[in-house]
Copies of this chain bind each other. A is one copy, B any other.
Amino acid sequence: MPVSSISPSLRQVCALGHERQSACTACAVRDIAICTSLTGADQAKLRDMATIRHFAPGEIILAAEESPALLGTIVKGTVKAYKLMTDGRQQVVGFLFPGDFLGSITAAAQRSFAEAIVPVELCVFPPPAFQRLAREAPQLERRLLEMATADLDLAQEWMLLLGRKTAQERVATFLMLLIDKADRRGFADCPIALPMNRSEIADYLGLTIETVSRQLSKLKNAGIVDIRNAHEIGILDRPRLATLAAGEA
């Protein structure tokens, strides 16, 4: 797993600052995380309240129904957010990547679970101090609103997928989503990393692992993708994949 290694620079931070965040300048996500909405003194305040925490794969970061929720930015790794039914049925509502914000400052209680699926490094803010800063610096709240709006649109796009798309279209859309995210973070579009396993993909797409596997095989046989191994996929025909994802084929 390529995501599992811990960056040397941040290891150093931990060793020096005893888990205290003090090296924002070295931070891998400083250009995309919420910090960018703040300047000068406010940014310093945010930095001073931040600590770094690590989570092992499978560890629960946030549990639904818990009130004193945690707030933080993902620095490294991948987190799955999901909802559960009492009989164990699970729906993944999103995967969170470095730069994404975790937790809510408005909701009284958490309403989804968040779980590390690979080793995760989190830049954590204590809720009371963060709330205070949000009141003082409206740009921060505005940034959170922007993010919530974007998340809402993605969730609704996913409702379209879950409610109306075929298995083939769902898998194609999922791959396109990963490609777009990789693009936006500046990575070459060559081989797509899948930090999640088939079961987590299935729970994201409203399918079973068998169906996900079959559809991936189909895409491979059609020469559209190249399944290097379970966690790495090469994209051979991106336009075709986009067409399939939109249900235009």
Contact = CB atoms under 8 A, between A and B. Distances in A.
Contacts of A94: 156
Interface string A156-177: 1111101111000000000000
Nearest to A105: B145
A243 to B, nearest CB: 10
B205 A85 contact: no
Contacts of A145: 105-106, 141, 144-145, 148
Contacts of A142: 106, 141
Q: Name the interface size band of chain A.
A: 35 or more
B107 A164 contact: no
A133 to B, nearest CB: 13
Contacts of A205: 163
A206 B148 contact: no
A213 interface: no
B106 A160 contact: no
A247 interface: yes
Contact of A135 (B138, B159, B165): B138
Given A135-B138, A163-B205, A156 B83 contact: yes
Contacts of A44: none
30 contacts: A81-B156, A83-B157, A83-B159, A85-B160, A85-B164, A85-B165, A85-B246, A86-B247, A87-B248, A89-B164, A89-B165, A90-B164, A104-B149, A105-B145, A106-B142, A106-B145, A106-B149, A107-B153, A111-B153, A112-B153, A138-B141, A141-B141, A145-B145, A151-B152, A152-B152, A155-B156, A159-B206, A162-B163, A162-B206, A163-B205
| A-B CB proximity, top 5 nearest | A163-B206, A162-B162, A155-B155, A91-B160, A93-B156
Interface of A: 81, 83, 85-87, 89-91, 93-94, 104-107, 111-112, 135, 138, 141-142, 144-146, 148-153, 155-160, 162-165, 203, 205-206, 246-248
